Amino acid sequence: MFIRIRGEFINKYNKWRETLKKHIIIAGVPRSGKSTISQKISNNLGYQHISMDSIIAGIESVFPETGIHSDADTDLWENIQYISSKMALFIRAMIDSGEYDECDYGMVIDIFQLLPQHYIQHIDSSVCEIYYFGTSEVTPEERYAILKKYDTPKDYTYYKSEEENKEDCASIVAISKNLKEQCRKYNLPYYDTSYNREQVFKSIFGF
Give residues with Cβ within 8 angstroms of 146, minimum separation 6.
Answer: 31, 135, 138, 194, 195
- Is the overall model pTM greater than 0.75, yes or no? yes
In a domain, 129, yes or no: yes
As a residue count, the chain comes to 207
Under a CB-based contact definition with an 8 Å cutoff, are residues 207 and 201 in contact?
Answer: yes
In a domain, 145, yes or no: no
DSSP, collapsed to helix, strand or coil, labels residue 104 as coil
State phi, psi for 133 to the nearest 5 degrees.
-125, 135
Q: Give the alpha-carbon dihedral of 157, 74, 29, 150, to 10 degrees.
A: 10
Cα of 176 vs its chain's centroid, Å: 12
In a domain, 122, yes or no: yes
In a domain, 98, yes or no: yes
In a domain, 72, yes or no: yes
Average pLDDT in the chain: 87
Residue 117's closest CA among 107, 127, 104, 130? 130
Indicate the range of 6-10, 40-44, 65-69, 110-114 predicted with least confidence.
Answer: 6-10
Range(s) of the domain holding residue 37: 21-135+188-202
* Domain harbouring 88, CATH code: 3.40.50
- % residues pLDDT > 90 (the chain): 61
Q: How far, in Å, CA of 67 to CA of 48, rounded?
A: 28
What digits encode the pLDDT tens for the residues 1-14? 545 544 444 454 45
**Mean predicted confidence (pLDDT) in 104-120:** 95
Residue 124 in this model has a pLDDT that exceeds 60: yes
* Number of domains comprising the chain: 1
In a domain, 28, yes or no: yes
Residue 81 in this model has a pLDDT that exceeds 90: yes
